[in-house]
């Protein structure tokens, strides 16, 4: 009887250890995530003594990520799309947001904190962009695939903490234009260049912190410095604070900073506050 009890105890212990090993075993393969959002803002006035202007604004966004994680490799793909417009009284629809941002990174796992990678990013927009003077006259300054930014890079990645990923490598950056050559043209030459190709160094840092159960802060800092003008650094910084109010309602504050001396000598800044419907499909 004692032998039977001993074997039963040993079997239970072995089964428990096997279950623990299975639980700890990493899960490889594809994982997908997709979040869609829609925000609407509307104001209407009739005989309002304090004054005001009728307005209607909307922004639609699609943010997704597909990751193929294997024992020796990790292939991460992110895609971000956004488009928004606003109408204020008789001004007609004006674009408020427009983004196409794609990124694909293949990392080889060496079993250390530092791993080699190869990747590519692509940025452009959906529709024409305009600037407006004091009289409301519009001047077109951009359109779909004009400009378009394509960067290909290879180097090493480093993850000092689960929340932070950074990479540094050599990069080839292409700026593609057609009607708006100012983004690629070299003013030092008589010819108008519509394509700009630059070799340089790239640094990209991604971070995500869960401040509270329903509050997440994400930031991305992209730096590119061409070899021929190593002191002229192109900077892109994207920061988002997202608060999940309920299962489908989310509030977001986004601040983007761009310092690209070819586009403008000043630092570009855009801030948006969005409150609307957010739904996770995958």
Q: Determine the longest span between alpha carbons in the chain, in angstroms.
A: 99
Q: Rounded to 5 degrees, what angle do the CA atoms 231, 105, 206 make?
A: 60
Q: What does each of the 282 residues of the chain score in pLDDT, given as a tens digit? A: 433 333 344 344 444 544 444 445 678 999 999 999 999 988 888 888 877 888 999 999 999 999 999 999 999 999 999 999 999 887 889 999 999 999 999 999 997 889 999 999 999 999 999 999 988 899 999 999 999 999 999 999 999 998 999 999 999 999 999 999 999 998 889 999 999 999 999 999 999 999 999 999 999 999 999 999 898 999 999 999 999 999 899 999 999 999 998 888 899 999 988 889 998 887
**Could you read off the pLDDT of 225-260 as tens digits, one per residue?**
999 989 899 999 999 999 999 989 999 999 999 999
**Tens-place pLDDT, residues 208-222:** 999 999 999 999 999
DSSP type of residue 261: T
- Record the pTM: 0.87
Cα 131 to Cα 183: distance, rounded to the nearest angstrom: 16
What DSSP state is assigned to residue 128? -
Per-residue model confidence (pLDDT) at position 203: 97
Residue that has been written with the tokens 């990174």 in this structure: 105
Domain 28-280 classified CATH 2.40.230? yes
Supply the pLDDT for residue 21.
47
Task: Classify burial at 106, counting beta carbons within 10 Å of its beta carbon; exposed 0-12, middle 13-18, buried 19 or more.
Answer: middle
Domain ranges of the chain: 28-280
Helix or strand run (H / E) with residue 9: helix 2-24
Residue 10 confidence (pLDDT): 39
State both tokens at 278.
């957010």
Q: Tell me, what's the pLDDT at 265?
A: 85
Smallest Cα–Cα separation from 150: which of 108, 101, 106, 109?
Answer: 101
44, 30, 41: which is closest to 75 by C-alpha?
A: 30
Give the pLDDT confidence score for residue 130 in this predicted structure.
Answer: 96
- What is residue 56's predicted lDDT score, i.e. its pLDDT? 92
């Amino acid at each position: 009887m004692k032998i039977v009890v001993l074997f039963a105890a040993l079997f239970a212990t072995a089964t428990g250890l096997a279950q623990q090993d299975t639980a700890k075993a990493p899960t490889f393969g594809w994982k997908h995530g997709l979040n869609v959002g829609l925000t609407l803002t509307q104001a209407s006035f009739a005989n309002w003594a304090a004054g005001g202007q009728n307005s209607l604004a909307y922004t639609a966004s699609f943010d997704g990520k597909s990751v193929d994680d294997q024992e020796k490799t990790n292939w991460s793909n992110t895609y971000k799309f956004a488009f928004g417009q606003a109408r204020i009284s008789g001004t007609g629809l004006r674009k408020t947001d427009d983004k196409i941002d794609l990124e694909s990174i293949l990392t080889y796992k060496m079993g250390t904190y530092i791993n080699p990678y190869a990747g590519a990013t692509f940025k452009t927009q959906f529709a024409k962009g305009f600037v407006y003077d004091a009289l409301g006259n519009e001047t077109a300054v951009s359109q779909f695939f004009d400009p378009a930014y394509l960067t290909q890079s290879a180097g090493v990645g480093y993850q000092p903490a689960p929340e932070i990923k950074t990479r540094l490598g050599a990069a080839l950056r292409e700026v593609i234009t057609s009607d708006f050559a100012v983004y690629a043209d070299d003013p030092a030459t008589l010819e108008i260049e519509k394509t700009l190709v630059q070799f340089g160094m790239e640094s990209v840092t991604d971070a995500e912190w869960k401040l509270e159960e329903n509050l997440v802060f994400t930031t991305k800092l992209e730096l590119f410095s061409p070899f021929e003008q190593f002191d002229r650094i192109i900077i892109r910084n994207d920061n988002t604070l997202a608060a999940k109010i309920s299962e489908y309602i989310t509030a977001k504050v986004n601040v983007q900073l761009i310092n690209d001396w070819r586009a403008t000598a000043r630092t570009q800044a855009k801030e948006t506050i969005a409150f609307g419907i957010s739904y996770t499909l995958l």
